[in-house]
């Protein structure tokens, strides 16, 4: 229907300068926003997955004990962990690693042995995960100085915030599509009303509804496609030049963008916008034409 065999169908509707530009502009603006909504959705989705996934697989046991009992307690804790279901590996951090962790706060030349620094044990869970409550009970019985931190306390709100953000992003994307449909419908209705004489002449000389509608549908679909393409291109450029961070400093804000195959998703915006315009114009045209003789 769009790859028209008959260019004449296009010409039967007079060109309309101002509304055409408004449609182009609105489509471009909506596509620009859609690119950001997509970037937000995909980035927060990535974040939720990473926080939920990686952090859930690790836990830390902190052992605070008098210096002379410390290594005994560490060994006791490691023994317990060896027999704990769901633990893949567990190892005490070396002095060097502990020092590296503390370096940002105390400087690199800190002498660990002069301070009552707790020992840390890194626990990596297997796919099934472990039972933190059970582990805590066993640790409390045998290693009084051990505290299990399975990160869930601060992980849970972050994961749910990221998931909520993702939901908001997708909702925004859908709303943008709906607004685009509403905007095209209004513009198409205005065009149909402004061209009432054209439509009545065409009906009089034997044009079918499909022929008349085609002229309007083509016009609005192509306009939306062009506008949305421009908006998408601008949106992608803007996302591309968002200041990013390296892996270690990447936070939510610097991670806002597309990664890998996600760069393809904004390319879907213009065709989807054109599809929305096509359907909206077709419905508007059918509704209007059916009221005419």
Partner 1 sequence: MIELENVAYSYGGGELLSDISLKLAAGSFHFLTGPSGAGKTTLMKLCYGALSPTSGTLRLFDKDVHTLDRDEIAQIRRRVGVVHQDCQFLDHLPVKENIALPLHVSDRSNEAETGDIDDLMHWVGLTDRAAALPPELSGGERQRAALARAVIMSPDVVLADEPTGNVDWDMSQRLLRLLIELNRMGKTVLVATHDLSLIRATKSQVQARVLRIANRRIQLAGADL
Q: Which of 2, 4, 6, 271 binds partner 1 (CB under 8 A)?
A: 6
DSSP code at position 148: E
Taking alpha carbons only, the member of 173, 160, 193 closest to residue 288 is 193
CA distance 106 to 110: 7
Q: Is 263 in the site for partner 1 (CB under 8 A)?
A: no
The CB-of-242 to partner 1 minimum distance in angstroms stands at: 46
Evaluate the CA torsion angle 272, 273, 275, 280 in order and state its sign.
positive
Q: Any contact of residue 253 with partner 1 (CB under 8 A)?
A: no
Helix (H) or strand (E) holding 282: helix 269-290
> Of the ranges 68-76, 120-128, 204-212, 228-236, which one interacts with partner 1 (CB under 8 A)?
204-212
CB of 5 to partner 1, least distance (A): 8
- b/e 33-42 (16+ beta carbons within 10 angstroms → b): bbbbbbbbbb
Closest to partner 1 by CB, 41 or 214: 214
- The answer to whether 290 contacts partner 1 (rule: CB under 8 A) is yes
Question: Pattern of binders to partner 1 over 7-46, x per CB under 8 A?
Answer: -xx-xx-xx-------------------------------
- Assess 3 for contact with partner 1 (CB under 8 A): no
- Our CB check for partner 1 shows the closer of 190 and 210 to be 210
| DSSP tag of 260 | G
Closest CA to 30 of 206, 277, 198: 277
Q: Considering the complex, what minimum distance in angstroms separates the CB of residue 289 from partner 1?
A: 8
For 61, phi then psi, to 5°, come to: -115, 130
Question: Could you give the C-alpha distances from 289 to 4, 185, 192, in angstroms and in order?
Answer: 20, 14, 9
Question: Which tokens belong to 229?
Answer: 């393409």
Instruction: Give min distance, CB of 200 to partner 1, in A.
Output: 7
CB closer to partner 1 out of 197 and 249? 197
Please report how close the Cβ of residue 193 comes to partner 1 at its closest, in angstroms: 16
287 binds partner 1 (CB under 8 A): no
**Of 55, 51, 89, 38, whose CA–CA distance to 232 is shortest?**
38
Could you say whether residue 174 binds partner 1 (CB under 8 A)? no
Residue 256: count of CB within 10 angstroms of its CB:
18
Which position among 3, 96, 111, 205 is part of the footprint of partner 1 (CB under 8 A)?
205
**Looking at 21, 71, 160, 208, which residue binds partner 1 (CB under 8 A)?**
208
C-alpha dihedral over 51, 54, 57, 62, to 10 degrees?
-80
Q: Are 23 and 222 in contact (CB under 8 A)?
A: no
Both tokens of 290, joined, read 């059916």
Task: Give the range of 29-37, 230-238, 256-264, 285-293 binding partner 1 by CB under 8 A.
Answer: 285-293
Of 120 and 213, which CB lies nearer to partner 1 in the complex structure? 213
- Residues of this chain that interact with partner 1 (CB under 8 A) are 6, 8-9, 11-12, 14-15, 197-198, 200-211, 289-290, 293
């Amino acid at each position: 229907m769009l790859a028209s065999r008959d260019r004449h169908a296009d010409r039967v509707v007079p060109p309309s300068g101002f509304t055409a530009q408004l449609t182009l502009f609105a489509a471009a603006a909506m596509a620009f926003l859609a690119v950001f909504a997509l970037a937000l959705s995909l980035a927060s989705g990535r974040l939720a997955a990473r926080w939920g996934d990686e952090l859930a697989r690790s836990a830390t046991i902190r052992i605070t004990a008098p210096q002379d009992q410390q290594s005994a307690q560490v060994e006791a804790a490691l023994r317990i962990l060896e027999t704990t279901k769901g633990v893949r590996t567990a190892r005490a951090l070396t002095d060097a690693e502990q020092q590296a962790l503390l370096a940002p706060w105390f400087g690199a030349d800190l002498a660990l042995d002069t301070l009552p620094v707790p020992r840390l044990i890194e626990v990596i869970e297997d796919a099934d995960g472990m039972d933190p409550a059970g582990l805590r009970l066993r640790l409390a019985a045998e290693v009084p100085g051990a505290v299990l931190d399975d990160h869930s306390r601060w992980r849970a709100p972050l994961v749910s915030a990221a998931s909520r953000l993702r939901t908001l992003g997708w909702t925004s994307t859908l709303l943008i599509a709906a607004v685009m449909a509403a905007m095209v419908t209004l513009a198409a209705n205005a065009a149909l009303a402004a061209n009432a004489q054209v439509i009545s002449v065409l009906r009089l000389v034997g044009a079918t509804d499909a022929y008349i509608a085609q002229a309007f549908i083509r016009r609005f679909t192509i306009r939306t496609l062009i506008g949305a393409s421009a908006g998408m291109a601008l949106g992608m450029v803007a996302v591309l030049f968002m200041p990013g961070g390296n892996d270690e400093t990447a936070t939510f804000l610097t991670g806002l963008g597309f990664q890998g195959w996600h760069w393809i998703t904004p390319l879907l915006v213009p065709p989807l916008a054109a599809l929305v315009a096509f359907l909206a114009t077709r419905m508007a045209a059918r509704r209007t034409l059916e009221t005419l003789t």
